[in-house]
Amino acid sequence: MTNDEIRSFIENAIKENKVMLFMKGVPNQPACGFSARTAGALNALGVQYAALDILPDPRIREELSGLSGWPTIPQLFVDGELVGGSDIVIEMFESGELAELLGAEPPEQPFEPEPQPEPVQRGIGLENRLD
């Protein structure tokens, strides 16, 4: 795939999915604590969302950040607009704004995601899985 193809794939994913999450790993098997918390918040609200693992090709992240102007992963888009990364999403989850934005029932209990160990020692280039 060329970089242009990757970029238009990302653009389409954002356009075609009301709730689109770009993350490290997949919702069932997140590869980073920040991605885990963000997917966990969406799961807790029971909303449907699409998720794309950015790890298989480093260009996905490059093109995504170029497009959004947001340097970190995860990135959550709703109705084509960047909502934020994990800090913002968790803040909005806790305040009930995320539920409101997504038309979901507000969470009954405060969100307490299980702590996820961060891969502390690894540099950015080594995070991409080779399989």
Partner 1 sequence: MELQKKIESALPGAEVTVEDLTGGGDHFRAEIVSDRFEGLSRIQQHKLVYDVFGDEIGGAIHALSIKTSCP
Q: Are 23 and 39 in contact (CB under 8 A)?
A: yes
Binding site for partner 1 (CB under 8 A): 34, 69-72, 82-88, 91-92, 118, 120-121, 123-124
| Nearest distance in Å: CB 84, partner 1 | 6
Q: Report the Cα 78 to chain-centroid distance in Å.
A: 11
| Nearest distance in Å: CB 14, partner 1 | 15
Nearer to partner 1, 28 or 121 (CB): 121
In this structure, what are the phi and psi dihedrals at residue 56, rounded to the nearest 5 degrees? -60, -25
**Single-letter amino acid, residue 35:** S
| Nearest distance in Å: CB 88, partner 1 | 5
Buried residues in 3-36 as b, exposed as e (16+ CB within 10 A) = eeebbeebeebbeebebbbbbbbebeebbbbbbb
| Nearest distance in Å: CB 129, partner 1 | 17
Nearer to partner 1, 108 or 124 (CB): 124
Nearer to partner 1, 34 or 49 (CB): 34
Nearer to partner 1, 108 or 123 (CB): 123
∠95-98-100 over CA atoms, to 5°? Answer: 95
